[in-house]
Amino acid sequence: MSVTLHSSLRIGRYELAHRVVMAPLTRMRASEPGSAPTSLNARYYGQRASPDGLIIAEATQISWQGKGYPRTPGIHTDEQVAGWKGVVDAVHDKGGLIFLQLWHTGRISHSSHRPDRGLPVSASAITPAGQAFGSAFERLPYETPRALDTEEIPEVVEDYKRAAARAIFAGFDGVELHGANGYLIDQFLQDRTNNRTDQYGGSIANRVRFLLEVTDGLINVCGNERVGVRLSPFGTVGDIGDSDPLRLFAHAIEALSARRIAYLHLIEPRANAGVRDEANLDAPASVAALFRRAFKGPLIASGGFTKLSAEAELKSGTVDAIAFGRAFIANPDLPHRLAIDAPLNAFDRRTFYGGDERGYTDYPALASLRGVA
């Protein structure tokens, strides 16, 4: 029987009822100050939960050092853990599953987000192109980051481990390591942002070391069946790049496969992760197809899929599940709509980042459109 979006799938220790995954989506609606989720966030995620369906919650900083945008949530204080528990409960009440994406933005940040006003940190002191978000949503020139000392790196690994432990304490079913889109893990991986001369720089094996140390730390806390990793091979978001991305990411993905993690989540670069409208035509047509043989476990792909293109990818065997982003923003009942070929609400990009319930929890489900109580 042909695999469809509504075929079941085993992910780690969990049996999913369908393969429509909610992608991690930064919405900038946590409390400020505090960076804690609120009842509004719980309502948003609860609306999008479905029985045995997987939600990957938005990128969540592991420390104040890791914060890069206004009103993004953290998972490093008791207040934040309490806020996330409300989110998790709302999803579990609907029978859903939820993983938390763990995030350190590295150089894609600004000192205004740091309580100590310290510079952003990175693999190397290389300034990104473009502009940062300041703490009040203003656009500011990026600052030249401070390169992490070799001796500091184990403490960042510990920050990831502590964040994972707090996520499990809050009730999350697992965690996803954000290794994509030019943030700190990616800054160590790629030679555009890593010119280190210690054991974390130079060779591909050295540049992959930080990714694997963090992944191993998460496995030690959660178990490999509750850890996923997201990567963006050939991506350009965050002014990132590498001189030999095929060899780099093949090495990284083979190493992750050997660890038997719950899943690998790849962003298709031609869609630019929904960050930009224009396609990256210099990238391969499909990184999922390119690296399928390197990863033996479940593979999730994201990046501009429609129902038609998603079903084609699943049928080909290239991927095992599809993560939807903007379609999930505008359609809280997206898995059901896709199952019955119902029309989709249009999204309003003006309300993607920051704000209140408008463009967040006020998109209607089919039942409300039809007047069903």
Other CB atoms closer than 10 Å to residue 308's CB: what's the count? 8
Q: What are phi and psi of 368, to 5 degrees?
A: -70, -35
Q: What does the alpha-carbon distance between residue 218 and residue 226 come to, in Å, rounded to a whole number?
A: 9
Q: Could you give the residue ranges of the DSSP H alpha helices within 95-182?
A: 153-170
- Which is the catalytic residue, given 45, 69, 183, 363? 183
Q: What does the alpha-carbon distance between residue 180 and residue 198 come to, in Å, rounded to a whole number?
A: 23
Other CB atoms closer than 10 Å to residue 340's CB: what's the count? 7
Residue 256, judged by CB atoms within 10 A of its CB (0-12, 13-18, 19+), counts as: buried
Question: How many helices (H) and strands (E) would you count in the chain?
Answer: 11, 14
- Residues whose CB is less than 8 angstroms from the CB of residue 273 and which lie 6 or more positions away in sequence, other chains included: 180, 181, 232, 235, 237, 267, 302, 303, 325
Respond yes or no: is residue 183 known to be catalytic: yes
Residue by residue, DSSP assigns 334-361 as: HHHHHHTTPPPPPP-GGGSSSSSSTTTT
Q: What does the alpha-carbon distance between residue 200 and residue 197 come to, in Å, rounded to a whole number?
A: 7
Residue positions annotated with a catalytic role: 183
